[in-house]
Structure 1
């Protein structure tokens, strides 16, 4: 990648955060970055998501976090943890978790890059799309549990039926 008038031109493979920034800029999504982290905002089907890319060069690991701006009240933690557990059983890539500090819900996925630490445009697009798709897919289930008064199993079943109906 080469900076060009505050824009990035994407080569075939590039440093992970540079490529994520270029992807965000190309799509007109707001973002900022440092040497080891980038943060941006993406409009999903249900809400805006904050997406973070965290690069650990010592391990050659790129971690993608997608936060759907859902905070879980203490009185809803038990059903929310049960729902997270049930949702994670449905997932192939990444997982959901609830941060103990503040009850923030997030999707997390880590990718080990090769020895050169480079990320392809296809990989970057897939990582971002998977994160947003999984948050969109399960957002209704969290709404059903946190505000709709449904049990975790009812919420997951309803969310999965809705997802099947949209396809």
Structure 2
């Protein structure tokens, strides 16, 4: 297993999927390279294990990161879930939460626009992944409160943020 230091010594920047796989390998996370342009990994979070997908769009030089907390939103809860999404997304500087129209899967999505060379630095990769996991962990309880605790969106968000602020 390579350490982050060994990755840095190999190259400062790399093709996006190559950098992500090297980073996942360094952390010891089980990953699968789906294609030359896509990799998926499972990363443990505070509340659950997240599936993270990195999808490279060569033509746009954009790396899209999708973080899936394995939460499906039933039709009966969609209205409150969408209101909660709007309240949460107002607070985010990077990325956003969404619900896939097919299947109701909750996800966090963030796109990284890379330069003309299409290369990804280790720092950028690490920060983007850490941010995705942190945001999913931060708001996971709010989704639980709405979907399983029958709280209203504002009440769920307030309760989740108070709980998160109280954690040590």
Q: Same fold (TM over 0.5)?
A: yes
Counterparts of residues 40-119 of structure 1 (less than 5 Å): 40-119=41-120
Cross-structure match for 2:156: 155
Tell me, in whole angstroms, the C-alpha distance in 1 between the residues paired with 2:66 and 2:127: 14
Cross-structure match for 1:27: 27
Cross-structure match for 1:16: 16
Q: TM-score normalized by structure 2? A: 0.93
Cross-structure match for 2:38: 37
Deviation of the 1:163 alpha carbon: 1.6
Q: Could you say what the CA RMSD is over the residues aligned between the two structures, in angstroms?
A: 1.3
SS at match of 1:69: coil
Aligned length: 161
Deviation of the 1:64 alpha carbon: 0.3
SS at match of 1:90: coil
CA displacement, residues 125-160 of structure 1 (integer Å, 9 cap, x when unaligned): 001000000000000000000001100000000111
Uncovered stretches (5+) of structure 1, i.e. residues with no partner: none
- Please identify runs of 4+ aligned residues in structure 1 that moved more than 4 A: none
Tell me, in whole angstroms, the C-alpha distance in 1 between the residues paired with 2:104 and 2:51: 16
SS at match of 1:82: helix
